[in-house]
Structure 1
């Protein structure tokens, strides 16, 4: 996992539309957020180009994590469902991206019906290029 140096800033970065947490047996076990995204986000750009729409018509689902001990309880699917519901309530189309090496996350999105738009290379730092899979929620 590519854990950020400053997790608090990473979790709350960008123009936030909402964020949710999941609890299991009294403990915090998951998180997801929904935002307008940053200027460099590829998924909103890809969706907008494909649909002849503005970037502002998308909402970026991000910062999803589920604690390893809580996996297998459908927490990831429930959190994604909450973010998608809020995006649609706002009249926005949900998009996301995930590191291509995170095959478990990609499998979850595909099981939930998300459409793979493209896999692209992204420069995360001067010394790190990462393959990223960009998805759009099904219509």
Structure 2
């Protein structure tokens, strides 16, 4: 963890990969992750934890499967939303977005229950942030 301030703008500029979060810092047992997203992610659920989203740039949509049916939440820049634990959801950003997520360390980006993972989806628990040089999504 850095002992210096971290620019989210610089953090986002340090990589190009989509749906591949970078851990910018930790708070207790939680990761603060940033990601570039475009197009669709996959339907998934986190059984034991909520998932917090903050839209830094662009617009994010979250499709939710809830007891009353399916709905979509629209998150413009500057908006926050928390998906409750156990709720199936699918993030998507038709025109691209930059997001910040707050999740327990080790939480997989595809949740505990998910559809088949497409090749373009990086199903990790977040990559270490590399501000020394562009990592190109490695």
TM-score, with length taken from structure 2? 0.29
The structure with higher relative contact order (CA 8 Å, sep 6+) is 2
Normalized per residue, which structure has more strand?
2
TM-score, with length taken from structure 1? 0.29
Normalized per residue, which structure has more helix?
1
